[in-house]
Amino acid sequence: MKDDIKTSTIMLIAGGTVLLISTFLDWLDAGPFSQSGWSTDAFGLSGIFVAVIGVAVAGGTVATKFAGVSLPDEIIGFSRDQLHLALGFAAFLITFGLQFGNSSGIGVLIGWIASAVIVAGAYLDIQASGSDAAPAAPPSQF
């Protein structure tokens, strides 16, 4: 295990893991008809999409930081940090939007909090990578 674990790394791993776990909890709490995020009857594929995001963010972060797996630095023109931000934001929109349903369950609440943690962790990574870049040269006079 490395000694230089950043806060953003912990946020990405924990957020992705909790996001995955939230899909197994009640997303629809309608008495005896409670359904998890894996039920395609009530939510279509949104719960499965959220679970895939959780696995991709947490699994990818663990694989690159601790298992020494070499993933590409850019995927379709975006850095990994930018992809984490986009995926976390997509999960946030899905789960936060479901929060305002008539009978949303605890899994939706935990899901949007976990996806907000992913967004915050990815944002911290983007800010840290931007500060590592060489400062721009000061403007010169004409």
pLDDT tens per residue, range 61-110: 999 888 888 888 888 888 888 999 999 999 999 988 888 877 788 888 99
Q: How far apart are CA 26 and CA 36, in angstroms?
A: 4
Residues 74 and 85: their CA atoms lie apart, in Å, by 14
Mean pLDDT of the chain: 85
Q: Residue 115 is which amino acid?
A: S
pTM of the model: 0.83
